[in-house]
Every structure is written in structure tokens, then in C-alpha cells.
Structure 1
Amino acid sequence: MNFESLLTTIEQTHAKLNSKAISQINYYNTLRNWLIGYYIVEFEQYGEDRATYGNAVLKNLAGKLTHIKGMSMTNLKLFRQFYQIYPEIGQTASDQFGQLGLASIGQTLSDQLMHREDSGSFLSPWELLTQLNFSHFIELIRVEDTLKRHFYEVETIKNAWKVRDLARAIDTLLFERTGLSVNKADVIAKVRDNQRVGIADVIKNPYLLEFLGLEEKPEYTEHDMESAIIEHLQHFLTEMGRGFCFEARQKRITFDNVHYRIDLVFYHRILKSHILLDLKLGRYDHADAGQMNLYLNYYRKHEMSEGDNPPVGIILCADKNDALVEYTTTGLSNEVFVSKYLVQLPSKEILETFIRNELNQEKL
């Protein structure tokens, strides 16, 4: 296959499958994108002039396919990822290739898939292709861990999640929180209510800080953890979720020559609020809420700009009593959240068992 053949093949595939999309738009659009990803990977591996184009294949394709909507370089990259992560979709779609004049492609795919290891998915390729649209797959593609991705596949189909529900579940670490919870079904049940995203949806509990790689020491101080977070700031911001922008460390505020320091300050571009974070190595104490409320009152009066929403406080601690948190934060004039941090994920065997149980319940 040369480059011109690649262009022609993609154009023909688009023409044949796009006509079907009128009645079954999600199915055929997803199939089209998968096939384009397959063609690109085939060209990159076996194309006659692949060496000529090298890393510029996607750029050149995007430039030549401007007459087809949605063929940007970004989307072509997604199509390629889609095929690479979900090659098994070809198993269920291959019987339709003959009807679309793509019989030789179907045979090629069948031959290749025979030599691939099973994906281990809890769902069949047919279930994935017919019950998820491509926007769902875009969210799933960004989940690198295979077991985690299978978890979100099952929950999306079982709960009929829209794309925004799936994205929200991923961004708030539903997989990790479910695995770490004693009553996993309760965690999932809370997500089934499609509530509007607000501050409580942005603030996670727990936070996973295993990336800090803390060395063994006789004891740790808040400063040790703060320094580790700053050293791994990019990872920490990823863990915090979308929208968090780092602003300050050890932000000092003073009253009558008495200095107080806020461990970390962020600004959330979606909530348009300052997020003040206080690190506690030990268990949450009632005094922590009062101290955070002090910080928030100061920020509300002196640091808010026009268009800002009131600041939000997060107390990040090693352990907490939920009743104590409720009694010490209820009635405060500011939003204060108390979250645990964790440094170790649960075993995958536990999560695999839970996913299988979830799937079995759905099929009853």
C-alpha cells in the first residue's frame, strides 16, 4: 500500500460507512473510526512508502482529508489509539465488511486477530460496539490501566452513563474509591444519580499519593509531605483532577505580628475559586476546621477578585472520623472538605471480583 492508496482507502471507507450512519449513526461512526485506525496502523507497519512519511503520516493525512469532516490530526491519532486498544472489535465487525465491499479487509483482520492475545475484557466486542458510542471510547482510551478500563466499560453499560457521567467517574477516581471501600455497591449507587457537578464533585476523597515515593523515616512532618508534593507537582495536580492551577506554597497571613501559613494554594479555573489545602500527617482534629475557616475568611476578604467565587478549603489528613468531621464543619460560613490520603492501591484481584459480580448482576 502506498500513500495514495491509503488516502483512497480511507475516502472509500468513509463514503460507504457514512451512508449507513443516517439510521445507525453511533454504530457505524464508531466502526468507521476503528477501521481508519486500522488502516493507519497497517500503513505505518507495512506501507510501501512509510519511511518517506515517517512521523508525518497523520499530519499529511489531515492535510489531504480536509473535505471529510472530523479528520483532524488529533482525531486521526484517536482513531489509531482506538484500534490499538480495542483490536478485538474487528472480530464482531468483520462479518459486515463483505456487505460493505470490504471482504478482503475482513479476512486480513481475522488472520491478524487469531495471533493476538485475548483482551481479557469482561464484555464482548459486540456489546462494546453496540452499546457505547465513540465519545465514550475517547474517555476510555485515556485510561491506561486495562483492568481500570474494563471497570469503566462495565459500569458505563450497566448504568447507561452518558459521556459526561463516564468522564466524571474517571476524573473523581471512582475505580480507586470503589476498590478501597468496604461497601463497593454503595459507592457505585451514589454515582448513579446524575447530579450537577459542583464543589463536592471536584473535591476527591480519598486522594492517592503513592507517586510521592516517600522514603522510610522514623517520623514525617507536614513539611516533608509538602516538599514531596512540590517535587512531584505535575503528578499531584493530575491526582487533584481537572481545573486545578498551582498558585502558592506556605502562603503567609499575619494578625498582630502572629504569622500563619497555608500549606498549598490553588486556583480552580472551572469553579473560579481559590482552593486552600492544609496538610495533616495524623488524624483529623476539631481544631483543624477552625484554622481552615480562619484562612478562608481571610481569603474571602482580602484575596478574592471580581468574578471569583468564595474560596474552598481542603484538609488532607491520614485518617478522620466522619461524625467528628460533620459536627465540626456543619454550619461554617465557608466550604471545608476533609479528605484522606492513601499511599497504596488495593489488589487487582479484589477489583476483578467486584467487576465480575457487577457484570453478573446486570445479566440476571
Structure 2
Amino acid sequence: MPDSIKNKNDELYSQIASVLSKSRQFVVSTVNTTMVRTYFEIGRIIVENEQNGKSRAEYGKETLKNLSERLTKDFGKGFSQRNLEQMRQFFLVYSNQIPQTLSAEFTLSWSHYLFLMRIENPEERKFYEIECKNSNWSLRELRRQFDSALYERLALSKNKEGVKQLSKKGIVVAKPEDIVKDPYILEFLGLPEKAEYSESDLEQKLIDRLEKFLLELGKGYAFVGRQIRFTFDEEHYRVDLVFYNRLLQCFVLIDLKIGKLTHQDLGQMQMYVNYYDRFVKLEHENKTIGIVLCKNKNDALVEITLPKDNTQIFASKYETVLPKKEELKKLIEE
């Protein structure tokens, strides 16, 4: 077959395959939205019937069991007594925030909502719901972000109004502080809390699990390279990890420290950032951000070392095990 005909055939196939792929995605999305809306309506009917009838205990014991048996017989699987109880709970949790236009609200899967319903704090629940939509989190990623206490970690760095905004808009990236977390949770590296490892070991683990590390870093990150070398005044220097944040349009340099943070570490990062600002970044790009990722740090040392108007250099702890959410919640309350 001549190359010209083969190329035309390939192009024809690609166009049709693209149409089919988009069509299937639309069908899956439509089916999912319809199913979730249906479960919400079933929950509404159950609640309204319950309110007009017997006590909840009697209702749950008698009516839901009978209803489950009849629905299963006529419509197949999916209507166990437990599932009907979940639909009822779904309506109770979301009835106050869902307007009449249900199709505009239910964009996640039923599995997502089953998980979200278990989050008692409504502001925290709304935050994770927004981030699921905005970042297209799978159920697995939602669980991981919740288990790593993302909401609490972000809330610790914000005032009361900032915490409220998390539940209204999710994560909004507008300034350097918005892309920095403290601590970063790196439990996916598989490093025990007290294991002995070198900075090069830590770096290699992060590279090996780069996709997960990018998710933990947050929105807008793109990987540039590791051990990026630059030469200044005939001296060679290497930046452990270099990223670019598309939302802030700036380079983000990360230096890894497995021991205690020192003022020399911050000074070294300041030099790296200055070099990138003066010799690497383009005119239209914003100032470089530097993050020293360390196992231990002294906040007082960081504060006295960095200028008061600092917006470029940050020091953040990292943890290799999942945090205790209750302890973080207490810190937020305090």
C-alpha cells in the first residue's frame, strides 16, 4: 500500500476513533449522572414517606426490608436494604445544598458520594467535593488525599476567612503561598518513619513515584528535571528537583534535606532562586519559588533567617507516614 493511502487511512481511523471515544465518555458520564440523580430522588421519596409515617426505627426495620425485596425482584441488584439506607442518607446530606437543577450538581460517581457522605464536617466535605471535580480525582485519589489530611494541612496555613474559602472554591492558586504545603505527606514512598536513608535515596524514591509526588505537590506542576546543574563564578551547583508551575508561571526549585534544617540551607536556596531569576526565567515569567523540604525544622530559625516580606523561599517538613487527623484538627481549633 502506498504511503499516501496509508496516511489517509490512518487519519480516517484517528478521526473516527476520536468520535467514538468522546461518545463513550459522554455515555458513561450521562449514565452516571442519571444514576446518582435517581438515587437522590429515591432517597427523597423514602425520607418524605418516613416523615409522614411511623417512627424511624420501625420504618427502617419494616418498610425498607419490604421495599428492598420488591425492588430487587422487579429491577434486579442494587436495591438491598443497605443501599436504600445509603440513598436515604444521600438525600439527607445533600438536600440542603442541591438546587432544583440536579444535573448541574451531580458530576461525581456514586462511589465518590458514598465516601464523601462519611465526612461529618460539611465545610471539609464540600472542599473535597470541589477538588474531586476540579482535579478529576479518582475514588482512590480522594481517599488518599483525605487520609493525608489535605484539608487540615491547608487550613493550618489560613485564617478563618481562608478556611471558609476552601469550602466555597477549593484550592485557588493566586500567589506563591498557595502552592506550598506544610507538611508534605510522602507515605507513598514506602519509607518507614525511622528508617535510615540518604538524600539521594529520598530523591530517587520521589522520581520513581513522580506521578504521586506531583499529585501531592498540588495544582499546575510540571516536572523539569533532577540534579539540574548550573555554573556560576566557575563553581558548579546542582538543584535537586526543578518544577514549573503553569498557574503561577514560575520555576519551583526543591532542595531535599533529611536532617535538621539550618540557616545555610535557606541561604543556599536563596542563591539558587536568585540565579534562576537573573539567568533562567524569561521576562514574562514570575519570580522563582524555592522550597527546602526537610525532615525537621525550627520555625523561629526560618523566621529570623528570611526577610519579613519574603514571598519566594519556603521551608516545609515532610512526613513519610500518614498524619493523625485528630491532632491536626486540634491545631486548627487552637
TM-score, length of structure 2 as denominator length: 0.63
User: How far did residue 125 of structure 1 move?
Assistant: 1.7
User: Deviations for 1:142-168, whole angstroms, at most 9, x for unmatched residues?
Assistant: 996965664388226789x99589859
Distance 1:325 1:146 in 2: 42
Structure 2 match to 1:203: 180
User: Deviations for 1:190-215, whole angstroms, at most 9, x for unmatched residues?
Assistant: 41146963221222222111111237
Structure 2 match to 1:91: 42
Structure 2 match to 1:154: 122
Distance 1:165 1:305 in 2: 33
> Within 5 A, what are the aligned runs for 1:168-183?
176-177=148-149
Aligned-partner residue type, residue 305 of structure 1: L
Q: Which has the higher contact order (CA 8 A, sep 6+)?
A: 2
Gaps of 5+ in 1: 1-58, 63-71, 97-105, 359-364
User: How far did residue 280 of structure 1 move?
Assistant: 0.9
Structure 2 match to 1:192: 164
Distance 2:195 2:235 in 1: 31
Q: Secondary structure at the match of 1:297?
A: helix
Contact 2:36 2:106 in 1 (8 A): no
Cα RMSD (Å) of the superposition?
A: 4.9
For the structure 1 residues 272 and 322, does the alpha-carbon distance in structure 2 shift closer, same or farther, using more than 3 Å as the test? same
Aligned-partner residue type, residue 97 of structure 2: Q
User: How far did residue 294 of structure 1 move?
Assistant: 0.3
Distance 2:238 2:45 in 1: 62
User: How far did residue 247 of structure 1 move?
Assistant: 0.4
User: Deviations for 1:209-256, whole angstroms, at most 9, x for unmatched residues?
Assistant: 111123799621111000011111111112112211110110112233
For the structure 1 residues 338 and 218, does the alpha-carbon distance in structure 2 shift closer, same or farther, using more than 3 Å as the test? closer
Aligned-partner residue type, residue 238 of structure 1: L
Matched, 1:294 2:260: no
Distance 2:271 2:285 in 1: 19
Aligned-partner residue type, residue 241 of structure 1: G
Structure 2 match to 1:19: none
Deviates further, 317-326 or 122-131 = 122-131
Structure 2 match to 1:214: 191
- Number of residue equivalences: 275
> Within 5 A, what are the aligned runs for 1:318-357?
318-331=295-308, 335-346=312-323, 350=326
User: How far did residue 91 of structure 1 move?
Assistant: 2.9
Matched, 1:282 2:248: no
Gaps of 5+ in 2: 1-18, 48-69
Q: Secondary structure at the match of 2:229?
A: strand
Matched, 1:231 2:182: no
Deviates further, 106-115 or 251-260 = 106-115
Distance 1:175 1:121 in 2: 24
Aligned-partner residue type, residue 164 of structure 2: R
The structure 2 residue matched to 1:114, chosen from 80, 84, 109, is: 80
Q: Secondary structure at the match of 2:225?
A: strand
TM-score, length of structure 1 as denominator length: 0.58
For the structure 1 residues 163 and 333, does the alpha-carbon distance in structure 2 shift closer, same or farther, using more than 3 Å as the test? closer
